[in-house]
Amino acid sequence: MLSISQKKFVNSLKQKKFRTEHNSFIIEGVKMLEELLHSDYEVETIYATSLWINNNSGVDCIEISVKELNSISSLKTPNEVLAVVQQKEVQLIDLPSQLNIALDKIQDPGNFGTIIRTADWFGIQNIICSDNSVDVYNPKVLQATMGSFFRMNIIYTDLSKFLSENKELTVYGALLNGENVYQKELNSKGSILLMGNESKGISEELIPFITDKISIPKFGNAESLNVATATAIFCSEYKRV
Amino acid sequence: MLSISQKKFVNSLKQKKFRTEHNSFIIEGVKMLEELLHSDYEVETIYATSLWINNNSGVDCIEISVKELNSISSLKTPNEVLAVVQQKEVQLIDLPSQLNIALDKIQDPGNFGTIIRTADWFGIQNIICSDNSVDVYNPKVLQATMGSFFRMNIIYTDLSKFLSENKELTVYGALLNGENVYQKELNSKGSILLMGNESKGISEELIPFITDKISIPKFGNAESLNVATATAIFCSEYKRV
């Protein structure tokens, strides 16, 4: 049974303002809950339908009806269960010994979520976002990560400051006029792949921090690639033998 | 000035049923209109704000207010202009001399649009979709193509029948247990890259048509890659030297 105040609270977490105020966020669906329960994120409350409860005996939760789940879900097709989770302080790991991704003003939740999923596929552990990037706790971002969110260290910071403090790292900047990435020897140790905003690319003030400009060669007529697509191709180029 | 019947007609085209009935579809925004006017698609009506009209003198259109545009737009941020366009019969080109993409039950409009954009970047000309795939004239698909739609030959057909009629082509099937694509010699002439549905992969009945199973090696922990992401990495592998 879902109380009016619970319903109001969960729905408020669809907005960043309230997520920040309560230091909480929402996780939805069977697959995401499975990943959540295997992670070190602290669960506040699980709201689950009888179907989920029957398949997950022993997990502490509040039973709600499918109709009640619909009233708090962000999904087009609500999926058995929703959890309110505590945000946590994230630390970057082993920055100088691997490939890391930096995102400058990424705006589209689907793109960001897809980048997190792709990064997880390629074994990347750290993503550094500029302060004005879309919120990782946005339900659409989380859903697009397909659970990879729980395995990624994601921080928000002033990217100019961050790059100026990490000058020992190679910074590969994705630009339309960069070197052909297929022909370039890439150093995946101690490096950052810097990707720009969907429509404006990399900010002017970050260009001086780029040590190597790289591009994906164009064989046809599209003006550009989607940022999540381009990120995936670069990650693939770093990792392929 | 937008009449009530015009408003009703344009809004009806947001549904596939009416697009098919009227053999029409909607194109929106400055960039898409520019691509449309350079294409061989036949324009039925352009509804434009004074701003667009001032920048596109000589183009036959109906002037409408920003408020009227909002009332017929599918975009979150309507952008100056909307056109109703005639659907056209599309033919595949030079199938046996290049790389083509086949999509089995692709469902997400954003994924499909992104694949069209990526295909255009890599110089691919033909996409063959199974009959039950998402409609290419869906406004979200078209928007995600960023104009590449106008340069792509996209047909819907029974994929089993299509593949059985094109047995001279190499069919690369994207599967989780395929050969490492990084180590495989790929033949981009006379070949088809077959990609499966977002959650179910390639249909059982199509598996026998695959001549070569291929995979993108996994270095981390994500269960799978987004279908548009995987398609992009395969296209990149075909085209890189």
Q: Which pLDDT value is given to residue B240?
A: 92
Co-location of A23 and A108 in the same domain: no
| B55 and B108 assigned to the same domain | no
pLDDT score at A93 = 96
Q: Report pTM.
A: 0.95
Residues on chain A bordering chain B, Cβ-to-Cβ distance under 8 angstroms:
110, 114, 117-124, 144, 146-148, 151, 182-183, 216-226, 228-229, 232-233, 236-237, 239-241
Phi, then psi, of A102 in degrees rounded to 5: -115, 135
What six digits make up the tokens of B215? 């995979």
pLDDT at B188 over 90: no
Q: Does pLDDT of A241 surpass 80?
A: no
B166 with B107, same domain: the answer is yes
- Which CATH number belongs to the domain containing residue A77 in this structure? 3.30.1330.30
Flag whether pLDDT at A112 surpasses 80.
yes
Asked whether residue A232 carries a pLDDT value surpassing 80, the answer given is: yes
**How much of chain A, in percent, has pLDDT values that exceed 90?**
97
Q: What percentage of chain B carries pLDDT values higher than 70?
A: 100
> At A220, is the pLDDT very low, low, confident or very high (cuts 50, 70, 90)?
very high
The number of C-alpha atoms within 13 Å of A182 and in the hemisphere containing its C-beta is: 11
Q: Which chain B residues touch A if contact means CB-CB below 8 Å?
A: 110, 114, 117-124, 144, 146-148, 151, 182-183, 216-226, 228-229, 232-233, 236-237, 239-241
Owning domain of residue A58 = 4-86
Same domain, B68 and B130: no
Return d(Cα B130, Cα B136) in angstroms, integer.
Answer: 12
The pLDDT of A131-150, averaged and rounded, is 96
Question: For residues B18 and A161, what is the distance between their CA atoms, to the nearest angstrom?
Answer: 53
Same-domain pairing of A106 and A164: yes
Q: Is the pLDDT of residue A107 over 90?
A: yes
Q: What is the ipTM of this complex?
A: 0.94
Number of domains in chain A: 2
pLDDT of residue A187: 86
Among B169, B221, B177, B218, residue whose Cα is nearest residue B196? B177
Residues of B in contact with A118 (CB under 8 A): 222, 225-226, 229
Nearest to B118 among A114, A117, A225 (CB): A225
- CB-neighbour burial class of residue A167 (10 A; exposed 0-12, middle 13-18, buried 19+): exposed
Helix (H) or strand (E) holding A140: helix A139-145
Give the tokens for residue B148: 């590449």
Question: Residue A195 belongs to a domain with what CATH number?
Answer: 3.40.1280.10
State chain B's mean pLDDT as an integer: 96
